[in-house]
Chains A and B, each alone.
Chain A
């Protein structure tokens, strides 16, 4: 087998992107067709990635890793992206976003994410980040008629470009001191000696990545972008880019910087605590559901980072399981948010949900279960996710981090509860439109069933993740 055989998934996606692009240019009103084909491409890509998982390899002169971890994250990216295409169908039609570029931009973002989770080289990582981000900037402003969407696109672009600049600057410092951009070489030379200037480079690299996953203090863009972008795009933002960003962070921290654990540990602990607390406190005052979800995802990223501070295999396992369950909860919550429409106008304010439980008991129940799960109340899936994280954190002897995290989770329980309160305790308003499409029903059904019945077999996800993270020592 030659090395190129191992990147069939990427080749497949790039080819389909190019073919679909040509198709979209020459065929009028081809949104429906292209969206369907893109979805099918994602679904076909899952077995391709899965069958690729033969043995752990780093190809192309140690610059591109095809191993169990990257394959696992790729499958996760594909599944979550497929979901975000499935349940946004109605929204895109009603908001007249049905341009053929929409699915194609998502497709190219996914290719970027593939690069991010696989690359074993700073330059490759940068290319992946840029491919992903540029597609996301355009996606954020895809609703050309809306001021908010345009604003969020520009905001995202300006801040994103800044963070890419910081990232590149960090890479150049590291290159200057180690003479390479390859993770293995950098790791080796960091083992031999570290000095203060190279730490600057490392900090800049971490800042650049923290920006991409919207961790505090580099989170400022995310509430605005979440609120301004069309909800279908927001749901995508909340899912796949987080997986890719965390995949890149895991690889960089645990492979590239594995020998300077002590140095990066302090940074990640700070980012994690700040994210958990800010996500919890800032969300209390929010009334816009999408903004609230932005803060909620900030605090969830904080929990994932908390388990990454441990520098143990358990930490990685719990981080990825948390990410998994987070993805499921986000699919469920955004699918629910996309249901809140009356006469084709979408509602985003939490007060619009009042009395939902009387008008739509099933939706209210699913949304409430998701919110309780986000708050980490047993026996829902979110509790187990938090439990894995705090277990690994306590096993690494960082009880203070666990205490802060759990207190933050009590605080954040308050705003999740407020939504439950509005849905269940307040007077009812007009009914929302009934759901006709299958995709959104399917997404809610699958995700809330997993959330509700996860407790029956809590090691279900753990077993997969354990296999995935076997490359981490």
Chain B
């Protein structure tokens, strides 16, 4: 196919941004048109990604839709291409962004045009991250996301917005600095930054550990892994609902994607060497942040900490180096993308009505909002990992993968599932059930049509993925097997494939 469809996909939202820049007129007109424009562009992007999915060949392990162009003279090429893993993340991104835009209508009250511009900009950058086949391009997209996110948290956030915006920006910038050094070093040693070439290449064992640490510094902050996670709760609490959704659903996935594509792919020896470190940090993340989540008074903070715990599962699954773990991690990330987005939307729904995120201000919501309570329950259960929901498949596959590798770690990780049930159900009990203590609960109105539509859609998605996970697993299986195959080739250690 001659059409550079991936580049069109990446830069389509950017065209929407340009349209928005030149929208002028009365305030009402601006708000209306910017909604229309951004919704149309994001839906179009979604349609293109569906088109990609249909045309994507599941049985080929190499990158597809590759588009290459000279960029910096004899040095860096603009190269994009996707395999199954990238594809599912692209689908997640293009799916979540329209939902964010719809939910913006309630949660953002001022400077809506600028907000939508930042949102579309983020979409472009995220799609770029998942498509890029050149380390430099990857870094560019990876880092550039900082600016719009800084703006979103800083302008539309809550009281402590400035503090959390700074924390987010400086933490992630600090992490990425080391990745940049590692990338330049790779170019200096091997003369190319083309991922397809680097994946075949065997990088010198002496360097691998340092380079791996360089990438790890950046990914660990973005994942976020314990103990680099402290920016996340702050950023989430202060971000507006749709900002939180973007953050939880898409931005956190970049690092997981990076681990799979680069840490394992480029530095297999170092990955094995550092796997115990990852295990330790992941397990601490799962147990410790779950315990912290139990103590939270703030609903958004609770969900934010639960995200850290869930990402702990993801990193655990990636670094057991087998098909089950890898597929489980990818599935878990997709599922977390959908479920945490939905949970933040749910918090947004009650926050828009009550203007409080404190759990203590709630109680007895079920009396006034029965539909909301039902949907919220399903999401909480999906987050816990109840069989039949998407959360279950991911956690199950990861635990399966970990069992093959290390019983002890699997045992502790399984404890995390119990803990997540504790904080999840306790949150639900305190917010939804019980007596109505706060008189303002009586004034609550149930979901309107738009909210109902969005949340039902997400519920269906979660249930479909829970019942028929092959939608995703089929797409990624060849690619994950390929990654494991290359990994085994390079390390000469027999690892099991996905059965």
**Per-residue B-contact encoding for A374-412, CB less than 8 Å = 1, 0 else:** 000111000100010011001100010011001101100
| A372–B178 CA distance with the chains assembled, in angstroms | 19
The one of B143, B144, B165, B188 that contacts A421, using a Cβ cutoff of 8 Å: B165
A417 contacts the other chain (CB 8 A)? yes
| A424–B156 CA distance with the chains assembled, in angstroms | 10
Whether B71 and A458, one on each chain, are in contact in the complex, defined by CB atoms closer than 8 angstroms, is: yes
| A157–B75 CA distance with the chains assembled, in angstroms | 46
Q: Which residues of B contact A409 (CB under 8 A)?
A: 177
Whether A417 and B181, one on each chain, are in contact in the complex, defined by CB atoms closer than 8 angstroms, is: no
Whether A421 and B162, one on each chain, are in contact in the complex, defined by CB atoms closer than 8 angstroms, is: yes
Question: Chain B's nearest CB lies how many Å from the CB of A362?
Answer: 10
Q: Which residues of A contact B151 (CB under 8 A)?
A: 424
Known: A378-B143, A462-B73. A390 touches B161 (CB 8 A): no
Whether B147 and A377, one on each chain, are in contact in the complex, defined by CB atoms closer than 8 angstroms, is: yes
Whether B181 and A378, one on each chain, are in contact in the complex, defined by CB atoms closer than 8 angstroms, is: no
Whether A378 and B140, one on each chain, are in contact in the complex, defined by CB atoms closer than 8 angstroms, is: yes
| A403–B184 CA distance with the chains assembled, in angstroms | 12
Q: Which residues of A contact B75 (CB under 8 A)?
A: 459
Whether A406 and B180, one on each chain, are in contact in the complex, defined by CB atoms closer than 8 angstroms, is: yes
A50 contacts the other chain (CB 8 A)? no
Question: Chain A's nearest CB lies how many Å from the CB of B295?
Answer: 30
Question: Chain B's nearest CB lies how many Å from the CB of A424?
Answer: 6
The one of B144, B178, B187 that contacts A377, using a Cβ cutoff of 8 Å: B144
Give the 8 A-B residue pairs with the shortest CB-CB distance, closest first. A406-B177, A459-B73, A378-B143, A378-B140, A394-B184, A425-B154, A459-B72, A458-B72
The one of B73, B177, B185 that contacts A463, using a Cβ cutoff of 8 Å: B73
A413 contacts the other chain (CB 8 A)? yes
B219 contacts the other chain (CB 8 A)? no
Q: Which residues of B contact A425 (CB under 8 A)?
A: 154-155, 161-162, 165
B291 contacts the other chain (CB 8 A)? no
Q: Which residues of A contact B188 (CB under 8 A)?
A: 391, 394-395
Q: Which residues of B contact A391 (CB under 8 A)?
A: 184, 187-188
Nearest A residue to B110 by beta-carbon distance? A358
A455 contacts the other chain (CB 8 A)? yes
Q: Which residues of A contact B144 (CB under 8 A)?
A: 377-379
Whether A394 and B73, one on each chain, are in contact in the complex, defined by CB atoms closer than 8 angstroms, is: no
* Known contacts A390-B181, A455-B140; 4 further A-B pairs (Cβ under 8 A): A377-B144, A377-B147, A409-B177, A421-B154
Whether B154 and A410, one on each chain, are in contact in the complex, defined by CB atoms closer than 8 angstroms, is: no
| A450–B155 CA distance with the chains assembled, in angstroms | 26
Whether B162 and A414, one on each chain, are in contact in the complex, defined by CB atoms closer than 8 angstroms, is: no
| A395–B188 CA distance with the chains assembled, in angstroms | 6
What are 20 contact pairs spanning A and B, CB under 8 A?
Answer: A377-B146, A379-B140, A379-B144, A383-B140, A387-B184, A390-B181, A391-B188, A394-B188, A402-B181, A403-B177, A406-B177, A406-B181, A407-B177, A414-B166, A414-B170, A417-B166, A417-B169, A424-B151, A424-B155, A425-B162
| A455–B71 CA distance with the chains assembled, in angstroms | 9
B139 contacts the other chain (CB 8 A)? yes
Whether B154 and A424, one on each chain, are in contact in the complex, defined by CB atoms closer than 8 angstroms, is: yes
Q: Which residues of A contact B165 (CB under 8 A)?
A: 421, 425
B436 contacts the other chain (CB 8 A)? no
Question: Chain A's nearest CB lies how many Å from the CB of B209?
Answer: 14
Q: Which residues of B contact A394 (CB under 8 A)?
A: 181, 184-185, 188
B174 contacts the other chain (CB 8 A)? yes
| A26–B389 CA distance with the chains assembled, in angstroms | 90
Question: Chain B's nearest CB lies how many Å from the CB of A303?
Answer: 14
B473 contacts the other chain (CB 8 A)? no
The one of A383, A390, A424 that contacts B184, using a Cβ cutoff of 8 Å: A390
| A459–B74 CA distance with the chains assembled, in angstroms | 10
Interface of B is mostly: helix
B423 contacts the other chain (CB 8 A)? no
Whether A403 and B166, one on each chain, are in contact in the complex, defined by CB atoms closer than 8 angstroms, is: no
| A420–B154 CA distance with the chains assembled, in angstroms | 10
| A309–B151 CA distance with the chains assembled, in angstroms | 37
| A403–B162 CA distance with the chains assembled, in angstroms | 28
Q: Which residues of B contact A390 (CB under 8 A)?
A: 180-181, 184
Q: Which residues of B contact A399 (CB under 8 A)?
A: 181, 185
B150 contacts the other chain (CB 8 A)? yes
Q: Which residues of A contact B180 (CB under 8 A)?
A: 387, 390, 406
Q: Which residues of A contact B150 (CB under 8 A)?
A: 417, 420
B173 contacts the other chain (CB 8 A)? yes
- Chain B count of residues within 8 A CB distance of the other chain: 30
| A463–B74 CA distance with the chains assembled, in angstroms | 11
Whether A421 and B166, one on each chain, are in contact in the complex, defined by CB atoms closer than 8 angstroms, is: yes
Question: Chain B's nearest CB lies how many Å from the CB of A350?
Answer: 14
**Per-residue A-contact encoding for B161-199, CB less than 8 Å = 1, 0 else:** 110011001100110011011001101100000000000
Question: Chain B's nearest CB lies how many Å from the CB of A355?
Answer: 11
Nearest B residue to A402 by beta-carbon distance? B181
Known: A414-B166, A417-B169, A424-B151. A378 touches B139 (CB 8 A): yes
Question: Chain B's nearest CB lies how many Å from the CB of A274?
Answer: 20
**Per-residue B-contact encoding for A345-377, CB less than 8 Å = 1, 0 else:** 000000000000000000000000000100001
Nearest B residue to A413 by beta-carbon distance? B173
Question: Chain B's nearest CB lies how many Å from the CB of A161?
Answer: 41
Question: Chain A's nearest CB lies how many Å from the CB of B115?
Answer: 12
Nearest A residue to B171 by beta-carbon distance? A410
Question: Chain B's nearest CB lies how many Å from the CB of A466?
Answer: 9
Nearest A residue to B181 by beta-carbon distance? A402
Q: Which residues of B contact A463 (CB under 8 A)?
A: 73
Whether A403 and B181, one on each chain, are in contact in the complex, defined by CB atoms closer than 8 angstroms, is: yes
**Per-residue A-contact encoding for B379-420, CB less than 8 Å = 1, 0 else:** 000000000000000000000000000000000000000000
| A421–B151 CA distance with the chains assembled, in angstroms | 9
**Per-residue B-contact encoding for A415-426, CB less than 8 Å = 1, 0 else:** 001001100110
Q: Which residues of A contact B184 (CB under 8 A)?
A: 387, 390-391, 394, 402
Whether B162 and A410, one on each chain, are in contact in the complex, defined by CB atoms closer than 8 angstroms, is: no
Q: Which residues of A contact B187 (CB under 8 A)?
A: 391
**Per-residue A-contact encoding for B126-156, CB less than 8 Å = 1, 0 else:** 0000000000000110011011001100110
Q: Which residues of A contact B166 (CB under 8 A)?
A: 414, 417, 421
| A28–B432 CA distance with the chains assembled, in angstroms | 84
**CB neighbors of B among A67-94 (8 A):** none
Q: Which residues of A contact B178 (CB under 8 A)?
A: 403, 406
Q: Which residues of B contact A413 (CB under 8 A)?
A: 169-170, 173
Question: Chain A's nearest CB lies how many Å from the CB of B204?
Answer: 15
**Per-residue A-contact encoding for B438-458, CB less than 8 Å = 1, 0 else:** 000000000000000000000
Q: Which residues of A contact B161 (CB under 8 A)?
A: 425
| A224–B166 CA distance with the chains assembled, in angstroms | 29
Question: Chain A's nearest CB lies how many Å from the CB of B130?
Answer: 17
Q: Which residues of A contact B173 (CB under 8 A)?
A: 377, 410, 413
Known: A421-B165, A424-B154, A424-B155. A410 touches B147 (CB 8 A): no
Whether B174 and A410, one on each chain, are in contact in the complex, defined by CB atoms closer than 8 angstroms, is: yes
Q: Which residues of A contact B155 (CB under 8 A)?
A: 424-425
Question: Chain A's nearest CB lies how many Å from the CB of B399?
Answer: 38
Nearest A residue to B175 by beta-carbon distance? A410
Q: Which residues of A contact B71 (CB under 8 A)?
A: 458-459
| A402–B154 CA distance with the chains assembled, in angstroms | 30
| Most chain B CB neighbours (cut-off 10 Å) among A394, A420, A455 | A394
The one of A410, A421, A424, A458 that contacts B177, using a Cβ cutoff of 8 Å: A410
| A417–B150 CA distance with the chains assembled, in angstroms | 9
Whether B72 and A410, one on each chain, are in contact in the complex, defined by CB atoms closer than 8 angstroms, is: no
Question: Chain A's nearest CB lies how many Å from the CB of B138?
Answer: 11
| A462–B187 CA distance with the chains assembled, in angstroms | 18
| A402–B177 CA distance with the chains assembled, in angstroms | 10
| A377–B176 CA distance with the chains assembled, in angstroms | 11
Q: Which residues of A contact B140 (CB under 8 A)?
A: 378-379, 383, 455
Q: Which residues of A contact B169 (CB under 8 A)?
A: 413, 417
Q: Which residues of A contact B147 (CB under 8 A)?
A: 372, 377
Nearest B residue to A403 by beta-carbon distance? B181
Nearest B residue to A375 by beta-carbon distance? B173
**Per-residue A-contact encoding for B224-241, CB less than 8 Å = 1, 0 else:** 000000000000000000
Whether A377 and B143, one on each chain, are in contact in the complex, defined by CB atoms closer than 8 angstroms, is: yes
